[in-house]
A and B are shown apart, each in its own frame.
Chain A
Amino acid sequence: MRRLFSLPVTGPAIATLIVALIVSLTTDRFLTHGNLNNLALQVSIVALIAIGSTAVIIVGGIDLSPGSAIALMTMLLAMMLKFWGVGFWPAIVLTLLAGAVIGLINGAITAYLRIPAFITTLAGLSAYRGLAFTFNNGSPVFEASNRLEPLFYGKLLGVPLPLIYIVVFFAAAHWLMRHTRIGRSIYAVGGNANAARLSGIKVRRVQLYAFILAGLMAGVAAVLMAARLNSGSPNYGVGLELTAIAAAVIGGASLAGGRGDMIATLFGALTVTIVQNGLNLNAVQTSTQNIVLGAIIVIAVGIDMWRGELGRVLVSVASSMPRVAREDREGRKAQ
């Protein structure tokens, strides 16, 4: 039982349940088949991007660029399919490859030119969307291909495809992070880059891998986004990077690096999406939604940071010894 509570997914899973409970109390339209289906479609894109965000956060960086990168890649995909005469599957593969290349660029600049990830990907946030506007005179490309939509709206054995993507990609990401040498190295570099280097880990290469994974996942998300709307647009994906980072952080990933969990991130993505869904169902304005998202991120990180203190405050209240609350954080670590 104690082990269950110390698992990294437990907190985020409980958060998801609580949020779902609250939303289902505010509106009876939440727990309908149609809405849950819609929720699955909504969560898929954010969740897949968040895989990359989580890997980059664990390695000790941050990726602000996927929203813009997705806009660029939906444009690329739509242009290839509609105007450039590229075959359907080759176009999909090339889009994913473009994602990997974008990740490679972000990662190479960060790891090898030693520009902080925040700056590199902030530049990417600006540049990739700018690049997206250079195609088709900056106009969206509609009706890209009639083969595109089934990738998003299709079903396999009655299960919506986005759900299958989620299961497959998160299983793979979890395996990568927890059961492979690369994953372990990502945790090591994020935990202590100095020590990682002195333990024989090729720190920069590991950082590069994390960014490539993030780019690749942005590519996957771009294909789904284009398929969902059967189009490409330089205006797609605005703010998605923040939602994805929020998912990772609500899932317990530490921006200091070294800590985070893929399955917990999935629950983080679910939490964010359910909140948005609940606000939509209650006809709350987008501006208010953004404020709520901001508040949730701060609360999630706060609960994580102050878990120790909160515990002791509760203990001290219970035993009516309020002075315990004043102790500094060192208390837990001292002998």
Chain B
Amino acid sequence: MDAADDIAWQLKDITKTFGPVAANDKVSLELRRRQIHGLVGENGSGKSTLIKTLSGAHQPDSGTILNGNAPVVLHNTLAARSLGIATVFQEFSLVPEMTVAENVFLGRWPGNASNIDWRSMRQAAGRVLADLELDIPPDAVVGELPVAQQQLVEIAKAMAANASVIVLDEPTTALGIAEIAHLHDLLRRARSRGAAILYISHRLDEVVDLCEVVTVMRNGRVVSVAGQTPLDVNAIISLMIGRDVEEQYPKVHGGGGEPLLDVRGISTERGLRDVTFTLHRGEVLGLGGTLGSGRSAVARALFGVEPIVAGEVYVRGEAVALHTPWQAIGAGIALLTENRNIDGLFFNFTGAQNISVASLGDFDHGLWLDLRRERQVSGDLIRRLQVDRIAESELVDHLSGGNQQKILVARWLNTRADVFILDEPTKGIDVGTKVAIYRLINELTAAGKGVILISSDDKELLAMSDRVAIVRRGRIVRIAEARDVSKADLLTGPEERRQSA
């Protein structure tokens, strides 16, 4: 097992600094053939920098990269790819307008320069997909596939390149339970074919389930090397944050308050059918179901993004019209959107301005905004949520993902909302920040607010909700106490959707 020729790639004493910050400080890593290697750490621990070094996007300040035993210099991403390093980043590198086959062989199309051999490309792509037991037509246009399938295409692309190592950076953030299972199958198959796999994820239960060895990073250093790290979630968390976690899900059970939000039989043009539920003060209602089941559609409908074509919504007993987000905000509804880069943050604003943007009316004196009070109020929230203090005066792109997420939570805390819809509130943020967000949820319910929680992390959903509503194909099929719901109940396989398609 220790045979040297089992080592596909090695990183040795990689150091990379940005200004005064050592993002990577003498980091070493061995990637073996036929092994799935987990890499975990909080945001800012240096994982991304390390992957970027391995994929040729960064040049290390010192240290060496060895291909087997031969030192190589990866001048750019192209060089890394040609040496068999396939990286699947969070953002896809697929061309949405092209077909699956064209994407799988992107840049390596068969045929000569003036004439692409389309037929053999389609056939080869078909073989790759069949080999991976992926039921995706090679002629499908990638942009028209569901996100989950795009992710699988991305991986097929990496495997078609005969990569010696496949690096995956948070590949499951966009996936539901069934898709994750499929992805893991795929990776195990890639492993059995001899590939080395480096798997980066915040979802530690997945990492423990999938990986054979785990490397833990903290503050730019490796704090626990592969082979020594116990494959246990709590042990890994302690290593990641450098102390013991009190509790992963500090849930304070609530509920039983008066009805706050009453949704009666709402339908939308795209998907929702006769959705009925009640959210009470002090309660967290979880929305479970797979990606595309309609969980997020409920959020969009209640926030005035997708038009409601039938049914009524009552907030605090009063019927409300929800045709636009500003009406929803006026009715006391807040939506923390799933994708903070696309739907949440203003990268041209400071943290403070990002907080105040949904409550500008509070600072508006007609002819002028009370900028001093804006700074005060935002500053108070920044301190209260323990966001990095630079958020008060610096643009948000200088902040880590966790801090950015807290800024968005602060934005909605500052509105007078009673109903908080949180769509994937802990997506892509580290364990410490996750716990902070959970505590905020507890604070909200303690203050008599109602929370609708949407999460693909089923453990989180079950642990943090008082009740869970399971959504399938745009309908709520069951509402039950969270403790009576199992992970299996949340799962609706892609088979079901395929039949309905």
A179 touches B346 (CB 8 A): no
Chain B residues 319 to 365 lying within 8 A of chain A, measured CB to CB, are 324-326, 328-330, 335, 337, 342-349, 353, 357-358, 360-361, 363-364
B49 touches A (CB below 8 Å): yes
| Chain B, interface SS category | mixed
Residues of B within 8 A of A332 (CB): 18
Q: Tell me whether B130 is interfacial, beta carbon within 8 Å.
A: no
A335 within 8 A of B: yes
Chain A residue with minimal CB distance to B398?
A: A333
A187 to B360 CA separation, bound complex (whole angstroms): 13
Contact across chains for B342 and A194 when beta carbons are under 8 A apart: yes
Shortest Cβ distance from A328 into chain B, in angstroms? 5
Q: Across the interface, which residues of B come within 8 angstroms of A181, CB to CB?
A: 360-361, 363-364, 369
Check A180–B343 contact: CB distance below 8 A.
Answer: no
Q: Does A1 contact B (CB under 8 A)?
A: no
Q: Is the CB of B367 within 8 A of A180?
A: yes
Contact B49 A180, beta carbon cutoff 8 Å:
no
A-binding segment of B38-46, B249-257, B269-277: B38-46
Residue of A at shortest CB range from B23?
A: A335
Chain B residues in 8 Å Cβ range of A194: 342-343
CB distance B329 to A179 under 8 Å?
no
Residues of B within 8 A of A328 (CB): 57-58
- Closest residue of A by beta carbon distance from B408: A195
Min CB distance A4 to B, Å, is 15
Interface residues of A in 166-192 (CB under 8 A from B): 175, 179-181, 184-185, 187-188, 190-192
B52: which A residues are within 8 A, CB to CB?
Answer: 330, 334
Determine if B99 is an interface residue (Cβ-Cβ < 8 Å): no
Query: Would you call A188 and B349 a contact (CB within 8 A)?
Result: yes
The residue of chain A having its C-beta at the shortest distance from the C-beta of B328 within the complex is A200
CB neighbors of A among B84-117 (8 A): none
Is B335 in contact with A198, judged by CB distance below 8 angstroms?
yes
User: A327 to B58, Cβ gap below 8 A?
Assistant: yes
Interface string of B1-37 (1 = CB under 8 A from A): 0000000000000000010010100000000000000
> With the chains together, A202 CA to B324 CA distance in Å?
9
Which interface residue of B21, B76, B325, B361 has the most chain A CB atoms within 10 A? B325
Q: A195-B344, A335-B44 are in contact. Are A201 and B59 (CB under 8 A)?
A: no
Specify which chain A residues have a CB less than 8 angstroms from the CB of B342 in the assembled complex: 192, 194-195
Beta-carbon contact of A334 and B49 below 8 Å: yes
Is A199 touching B358 in the complex (CB atoms < 8 A)?
yes
Interface: A85 (CB within 8 A): no
Task: Closest A residue to B44 by CB, please name it.
Answer: A335
Any A CB within 8 A of the CB of B303:
yes
- Pick from A179, A192, A326, A327: contact of B369, CB below 8 A: A179
One of B48, B344, B371, B397 near A179 (C-beta < 8 A): B371
Interface size grouping (class) on chain A: 20 to 34
Q: Is the CB of A330 within 8 A of B348?
A: no
Instruction: Judge whether A191 and B59 touch: CB under 8 Å.
Output: no
CA–CA, A335 to B16, complex, Å?
A: 10
Find chain A residues with CB under 8 A from B44 CB. 335
**A276 vs B11: C-alpha distance when bound (angstroms):** 57
A181-B369, A331-B18, A335-B400 known; A195 vs B345 contact (CB < 8 Å): yes
Contacts of A200 in B (CB 8 A): 325-326, 328-330, 358
- Report the minimum CB–CB distance from A151 to chain B (whole Å): 27
Whole-angstrom distance between the alpha carbons of A190 and B21 in the complex? 32
> Chain A nearest CB: distance from B160 CB in Å?
25
B497 close to chain A: CB less than 8 A: no
In the bound complex, how far is the Cα of B353 from the Cα of A212, in angstroms? 25
Smallest CB separation, B395 vs chain A (Å): 10
Query: Could you tell me the distance between the alpha carbons of A259 and B397 in the complex, rounded to whole angstroms?
Result: 14
Note all chain A residues with C-beta closer than 8 A to B343: 192, 194-195, 198
1/0 per residue, CB under 8 A from A, across B377-401: the answer is 0000000000000000000010010
In the assembled complex, B75 has its CB within 8 A of some CB on chain A: yes
Residue of B nearest to A179 (CB): B368
* Inter-subunit contact B58/A331 (CB<8 Å): yes
Q: List the 4 closest A-B pairs by CB distance, nearest first.
A: A258-B348, A191-B348, A200-B326, A200-B329
21 A–B contacts from the bound complex (CB under 8 Å): A175-B368, A181-B364, A188-B349, A190-B348, A191-B347, A191-B349, A195-B343, A195-B344, A198-B325, A198-B337, A199-B325, A199-B329, A199-B411, A200-B329, A201-B357, A327-B58, A334-B23, A335-B18, A335-B43, A335-B44, A335-B45
* Chain A residues with a Cβ under 8 A of chain B: 175, 179-181, 184-185, 187-188, 190-192, 194-202, 258-259, 323-324, 326-328, 330-335
Interface residues of B (CB under 8 A from A): 18, 21, 23, 43-46, 48-49, 52, 57-59, 75-76, 303, 305, 324-326, 328-330, 335, 337, 342-349, 353, 357-358, 360-361, 363-364, 367-369, 371, 397, 400, 411
